[in-house]
Structure 1
């Protein structure tokens, strides 16, 4: 059977895009638009293969043009900014290491990419500073703090052997909060002594280190431990045995590479008073694993288009509750629904984008967005919801009814 045959059935693209069963949550439905808009949608669904084939060709062409002209331009602008980010980070971390040799810079270039550099958005970057000597601690992941874990001394007699002895609590936990506090104090001095001191400033009122550069973009630097060869119990359900994606080989590769433990505040405590355990806990990060899963097909191209649409249509004031990480998370969920590479080719890419945006609307209406690896972790927790769902629905309508409107988005 031709793998493309199901995608070419009359009305298939719109039926997929408008089917609420396609969403993550079934508890809420999309707000109905006025009668004229609904009539147009019904007409589009009933118009037959000739209309659909023509519409799909237009959407495929417009998406490719959008990717070439706008998404690629966004990537090039980010690449230019990264050149300055690299210089600032190298300089600040050099000053940091002079003050405290335990914070050794791991910010190095590997195969054209910088180790630990993450692009959060076109104006937000994060650099992960990997720490040494996690070995005397046990990784404890009991599920009591969604998205977090603690590091506990494997033997109380090993306390004095730890490189981080003064950050260990009386109960034997390596405190992320204590490391954040010390790191921030050191970074204040490092920024003052940096050769870029005239254009950078540390953002106040945050327990995490965020550096503002020329009032144009932000760099967050986060101490972390790399946990290679480990896989958290809270993510043990992954992958679902009934899902053919990803392949067993990729699953094994992802689990062998492991994850990171970041010295960030727990999501559960970001809008309230922290408990002692929440302050000591470390945040689980699967960034490298997620990027590895997006290899193949047009998955990365899809994410690039979604990020560009977000920047231009959902984040005009820079205050959107929707982050690029939410989009990446929903893309991973969509990959499970459509596990084959041909389902992500140029012909089907429009349906995948519509599907992800409709998932996002559903998540906004239910006020819950489950983490891909840790479904008990709600990525919307602590977020102030706004009218974003209406903005996204307008965007989906335009993509469905008028693919040529991409030229103006």
Structure 2
């Protein structure tokens, strides 16, 4: 190789280094901006928040659902006896909103999983003789449990609980010597989540997704990801054992148009608890090495909200937050060495994950982290391709545009 060629390569590497340094500075500024705006500090999970009042209301509603409501449901129907777990971004300390949380209510029902080969990621659940007698109102003549029927039954019990005196006494708060009884709304009948929306004011609105699920032991047949053999650096063998012990869940999320069918026997295989375990396990390395893993993920979610999606409240962006979580898990698996996640690598990891997304959009496929044969992309993401292209080809301009969008009005939506 000639001397001039070596000098050219050296100069290119130096320019690339300077470029990443500038991008790192911009991302760190955005993180500081976010922390400064969310002045209420951190909640019990480690999430930053703009409003201590909103954090207090969310904790109140969570506790109300976990105790009063689920106790009421159990009293109403002993079959709905189970365990509740905080899952999702909030419980893992990577939420960008203080007013949302996810609760997974798992119940044990003895049965056998029947894979649905024509719909990867879905399964049927055939009950044992003992369970069949208990759940005969939610099963077919062949003994398969009807997902939407069971979820609808749970929804109606929650609805009864919210109409009882529990609501008046246990959700009311006192602010500035004024008693506030919130407005409560329930949505999501027969769907994956029973959503409880509690409005204390026009801005203090709490949304909790309560998901009822059938708890299953071990791993489903489709869980063929190589890291589940316990031989990868991340997730390591210790994490894999915890995941196998936590098992997986069956949730009421049948593919359209079967989701409208009360008698559908299809269940979606879910790893909500396992995903939360993986995100929480990242904390060990973050504390030990001061890594930027979760900081990068939270910034990706803010970028999605401020640059890739509408900012209006209750407008669902086509780029789901869950897709970003999957991207993070793949990135951590591919780059397990802590040296790839140091503070100076923030921009590199940020762009790498969005490059990964761009490739997946072209492929029209986002593989499930646990079940690689399953495509979790439910609809095309072509609408965000141009913005993603701008980020990957002109990252400084894209990040500056994003920064200008992060004004006070936008942050009040969080």
Structure 1 unaligned segments of length 5 or more: list them. Answer: 1-9, 12-42, 108-113
Structure 1 position 70, deviation (Å): 1.4
Moved more, 248-257 or 339-348: 248-257
Q: 1:249: which partner in 2?
A: 238
Q: 1:341: which partner in 2?
A: 338
Q: Which residues in structure 2 correspond to 1:292-303 (within 5 Å)?
A: 292-294=277-279, 295=282, 296=285, 297-303=291-297
CA distance in 2 between counterparts of 1:310 and 1:278 reads 37
Q: Does 1:351 align with 2:348?
A: yes
Name the SS for the 1:56 alignment partner.
helix
Q: Which residues in structure 2 correspond to 1:7-406 (within 5 Å)?
A: 47-70=11-34, 75-77=47-49, 80=52, 81-92=54-65, 94-95=68-69, 97-98=71-72, 100-101=74-75, 102=78, 103-104=80-81, 106-107=83-84, 115-116=86-87, 119=90, 122=97, 124-131=100-107, 133-134=108-109, 136-141=110-115, 143-154=117-128, 156=129, 159-160=132-133, 162=134, 164-193=135-164, 194-195=167-168, 196=171, 198-203=182-187, 207=191, 208-214=193-199, 216-228=205-217, 230-239=218-227, 244-262=233-251, 264-266=252-254, 269-270=255-256, 272-274=257-259, 279-294=264-279, 295=282, 296=285, 297-315=291-309, 316-317=311-312, 318-381=315-378, 383=379, 385=381, 387-399=383-395
Structure 1 position 304, deviation (Å): 1.4
**Alpha carbons of structure 1 residues 73 and 248: separation in structure 2 relative to 1, 3 Å:** farther
Structure 2 unaligned segments of length 5 or more: list them. Answer: 1-5, 39-46, 172-180, 286-290, 406-414
CA distance in 1 between counterparts of 2:11 and 2:351 reads 19
Across the aligned residues of Structure 1 and Structure 2, the Cα RMSD in angstroms comes to 3.6
Name the SS for the 1:149 alignment partner.
strand
Contact persistence 2:20–2:348 (CA under 8 A): no
Structure 1 position 211, deviation (Å): 2.3
Structure 1 position 217, deviation (Å): 4.6
Structure 1 position 286, deviation (Å): 1.6
CA distance in 2 between counterparts of 1:205 and 1:158 reads 24
Structure 1 position 182, deviation (Å): 0.8
How high is the TM-score relative to the length of structure 2? Answer: 0.72
Name the SS for the 2:163 alignment partner.
helix
Which of the pair has the greater relative contact order for Cα pairs under 8 Å at 6+ separation?
1
In the alignment of these two chains, the number of paired residues is 351
